[in-house]
Amino acid sequence: MTRYTPLWLQSGSYAGSQDRRLLGALWPAAASSGCAVSPGTAAMTVNVAPGSVAVPSQNNTGSTLCASDAQEVVGPLAAAPPSGQSRIDRIICRPRGTDLDGGANNDFIFDFLTGTPATSPAQPTPPAVPAGTATLARILIPGASATIAPANITDERPAGLGVPNPSRAGGPIYHSEYARNAAYNFTATTSLLVFDTVIDDVAGLYNPTTGLYTCPAAGFYQGVAGLAATMAASSSCDVRLQKNGAVLRVLGGMVGNAAVSGKINANTGPIRCAAGDTLAWMIFASVTLAGSPNPANTWMSFDYLGPGI
């Protein structure tokens, strides 16, 4: 039996693996805040935003906490496969330590994994995530491409970098709030509302590329949204809440008997969700709808209210 020295005891001495036991108790699975991946300015590179990633170790000694306070460039990735083929790469957070991987480095890096090309119509398979690392994004590399398009980046960041089961006293435990700055038009009957500007999202639970909010814990959630739009004559629209890809609730709406500008306010009320469920805002429009991209008018939020009973 090994009786370890209590952490932070005066005059105590212990290895870094002991701190990892504490971090592993807080974050036994991978978790992150920030660290969103976006295209870089140089060819075949990506940027990783500032943030933190908790990564379970490959030798079962707990978790490492990897933090960066500035944007970092990863790449260049390997050259694209020939035309007619495609490949999926991954962007990962890789802690390095003498007692983790046997190497000489005691740090962490944002790294990339190169996938195996597949010939169309076969779909490429992303590379496996090695033990002791955490995935941040998948990158689709089309054949003969020279740059990385935003639409080809799929967010894979684990959510929920926060102390598990914190007290509910004082209000919501997790809060994500975004607005829309870019102009938009809805031409389909039902379209996903994607908000592109972060107002408050410390835990990084909302993906401004896909429009999906990932629930970090089981319990009750509430969403609130405001949508400003210009209606055409003899048209209608309403806002809907999507859960795991299906419409859950139809909320506020607007009818235009003549061309008119207006605003829809929507409140979901408490919704029970499991950890990993996704929530998203949608709009149903009978005709093409022109939005009003103004953070004061077009915004949304999701709050975790607590575990409930």
Residues whose CB falls within 8 Å of the CB of residue 260, separated by 6 or more in sequence, listed in order: 230, 231
Question: How far apart (Å, rounded) are the C-alpha atoms in residues 197 and 211?
Answer: 11
Chain center to CA of 195: 13
- Domain of 43? 16-155
With 0.75 as the threshold, say if the pTM is over it. no
Angle (CA) 218 110 178, round 5°: 45
**Does pLDDT of 113 surpass 90?**
yes
Other Cβ atoms within 10 Å of 69 Cβ, number: 8
In terms of domains, do 48 and 119 share one? yes
In terms of domains, do 253 and 137 share one? no
Question: How far apart (Å, rounded) are the C-alpha atoms in residues 29 and 56?
Answer: 6
In terms of domains, do 132 and 245 share one? no
pLDDT at position 167? 44
In terms of domains, do 126 and 190 share one? no
Residue 106 lies in a domain: yes
Across 90-94, average pLDDT: 96
Position with higher pLDDT, 87 vs 161: 87
The number of distinct structural domains making up the chain is 2
Across 235-251, average pLDDT: 85
- Average of per-residue pLDDT values in the chain: 82
Looking up residue 239, the CATH number of its domain turns out to be 2.60.120.40
Chain center to CA of 15: 33
In terms of domains, do 50 and 131 share one? yes
Q: How sure is the predictor about 88, in pLDDT bands with cuts at 50, 70 and 90?
A: very high
Question: How far apart (Å, rounded) are the C-alpha atoms in residues 64 and 15?
Answer: 13
For the chain, how many residues are written? Answer: 309
Looking up residue 140, the CATH number of its domain turns out to be 2.60.520
List, in sequence order, the alpha helices (H) in the chain.
16-26
Question: How far apart (Å, rounded) are the C-alpha atoms in residues 92 and 58?
Answer: 15
pLDDT digits (tens, 9 = 90+) for 114-135: 999 999 888 888 999 999 999 9
pLDDT digits (tens, 9 = 90+) for 222-242: 999 887 777 666 677 788 899
**Does pLDDT of 95 surpass 80?**
yes
In terms of domains, do 24 and 93 share one? yes
Confirm if 58 and 96 have CB atoms less than 8 A apart. no
Amino acid at site 190:
T
